[in-house]
């Protein structure tokens, strides 16, 4: 029972090792894929951050241009003595330049906001700046026929102040967004770095463990192979001491292994039998008996015995043989063939001697009766 348990353990451990190695390889593949995804995702995040930084720079440039245009409006309309503020051609040209610049920058901001390309600025402040600018534009265009700007100065002061305040609020919002993005970028980098190192540590640990398991498996496999070789040599030596022919064949009659008799080992190579069918070696009647005995042995699981007589392959002398067939697998049998010629001859001689002895006793009895 202990030997059976040991054999079961020897057969079970390689299967467990195979499963362990395959599971480790699958986990390693999964971890490698995870590392690849992390790296690619990190690169994509970096690209998105660069895109947002470029976007923030563009928005900041637009807001600075709007702030500069607002300052130019102050210089043009409010920061000069009122008695000299006339709608001269120079003032009109400067006004048109400022107006066109503000309109272009507002179009960029509004188009970006609608396309969700610039989600950096509060909508209310953008609308506030646009509304204030529209008021200033309407006031000035409605009074282009006046020679003096003094009557509309009070009217322009409030929307210009609103433009300044809205522009300042937009700049503060942009700065807040930039600061928040910087904090998020640092936090994302820390998370990715931590995740990457954790996965890499796990990956390397699993690689080391897999190599250890593989090395142990290789050592066990080599030890088992050495044990099998020793066992095979032992069994081969044991078989070589048997004077009989030992062969193995399939259910349908093809030889798979052959061990000749000790006396004729050099004259009966295995190649003369292995791979051949019984009908190529034996006569049809003997081959049929051999196949029938093999089928009975496989069906019943018990040894089958039959005798036959044929010419010896080496000497050509008619020889008597006894074949014993035992199952050696699901569809394979082992056959031990023994030369029983001398044994049958001795039995025949013994039988003849017994007959002669019986005749002598009978003759003695008859002679005694005659006397």
276 touches 255 (CB < 8 A):
yes
Task: Verify that 167 and 269 share a domain, yes or no.
Answer: no
pTM of the predicted protein model: 0.44
Average pLDDT of the chain?
76
pLDDT, one tens digit per residue, over 279-316 is 988 889 999 999 999 999 999 999 999 989 888 877 77
**Is the residue at 223 inside a domain?**
no
- The stretch 357-370 carries a mean pLDDT of 59
Task: Verify that 41 and 87 share a domain, yes or no.
Answer: yes
Task: Verify that 24 and 157 share a domain, yes or no.
Answer: yes
User: Given this model, what pLDDT does residue 115 score?
Assistant: 44
CATH code for the domain in which residue 254 is found? 3.30.450.20
CA 235/CA 265 separation, integer angstroms: 17
Task: Verify that 201 and 289 share a domain, yes or no.
Answer: no
311 touches 317 (CB < 8 A):
yes
- Residue after which a domain boundary falls, among 198, 213, 228: 213
- Highest mean pLDDT, choosing among 25-29, 90-94, 211-215, 329-333: 329-333
Task: Verify that 197 and 249 share a domain, yes or no.
Answer: no
**Is the residue at 297 inside a domain?**
yes
pLDDT, one tens digit per residue, over 79-112 is 555 544 555 666 667 777 777 877 777 777 776 5
Range of the domain at 184: 11-213
**Is the residue at 43 inside a domain?**
yes
CA 6/CA 201 separation, integer angstroms: 38
Q: What is the DSSP string of 9-61?
A: HHHHHHHHHHHHHHHHHHHHHHHHHHHHHHHHHHHHHHHHHHHHHHHHHHHHH
Instruction: Indicate the length of the chain as a whole number.
Output: 371
Task: Verify that 351 and 209 share a domain, yes or no.
Answer: no
Task: Verify that 110 and 186 share a domain, yes or no.
Answer: yes
**Total structural domains in the chain?**
2
Q: What percent of the chain has pLDDT over 70?
A: 75
Phi-psi region of 267 (alpha: psi -120 to 50; beta: other; left: phi over 0): alpha
pLDDT, one tens digit per residue, over 214-270 is 888 788 888 888 888 888 788 777 666 677 888 899 988 999 988 877 655 555 677
């Amino acid at each position: 029972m202990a030997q059976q348990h040991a054999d079961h353990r020897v057969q079970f451990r390689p299967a467990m090792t195979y499963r362990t190695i395959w599971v480790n390889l699958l986990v390693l593949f999964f971890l490698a894929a995870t590392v690849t995804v992390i790296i690619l995702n990190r690169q994509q995040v970096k690209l998105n951050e660069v895109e947002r930084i470029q976007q923030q720079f563009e928005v900041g440039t637009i807001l600075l241009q709007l702030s500069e245009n607002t300052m130019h409006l102050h210089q043009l309309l409010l920061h000069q003595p009122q008695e000299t503020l006339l709608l001269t051609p120079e003032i009109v040209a400067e006004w048109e330049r400022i107006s066109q610049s503000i309109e272009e920058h507002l179009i960029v901001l509004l188009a970006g906001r609608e396309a969700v390309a610039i989600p950096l600025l509060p909508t209310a402040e953008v609308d506030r700046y646009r509304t204030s600018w529209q008021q200033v534009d309407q006031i000035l265009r409605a009074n282009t026929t006046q020679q003096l700007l003094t009557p509309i100065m009070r009217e322009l002061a409030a929307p210009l102040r609103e433009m300044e305040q809205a522009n300042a609020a937009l700049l503060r919002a942009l700065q807040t967004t930039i600061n928040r993005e910087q904090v998020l970028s640092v936090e994302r980098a820390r998370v990715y770095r931590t995740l990457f190192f954790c996965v890499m540590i796990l990956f390397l640990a699993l690689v080391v463990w897999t190599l250890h398991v593989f090395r142990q498996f290789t050592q066990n496999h080599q030890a088992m192979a050495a044990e099998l070789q020793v066992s095979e040599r032992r069994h081969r030596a044991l078989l070589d001491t048997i004077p009989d022919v030992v062969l193995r064949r399939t259910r349908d009659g093809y030889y798979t292994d052959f061990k000749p008799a000790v006396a004729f080992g050099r004259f009966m190579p295995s190649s003369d039998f292995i791979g051949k069918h019984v009908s190529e070696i034996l006569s049809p009647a003997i081959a049929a008996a051999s196949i029938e005995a093999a089928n009975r042995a496989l069906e019943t699981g018990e040894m089958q015995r039959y005798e036959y007589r044929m010419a010896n392959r080496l000497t050509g002398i008619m020889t008597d043989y006894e074949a014993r067939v035992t199952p050696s697998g699901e569809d394979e049998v082992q056959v031990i063939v023994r030369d029983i010629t001398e044994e049958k001859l001795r039995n025949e001689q013994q039988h003849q001697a017994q007959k002669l002895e019986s005749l002598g006793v009978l003759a003695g009895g008859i002679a005694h009766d005659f006397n």
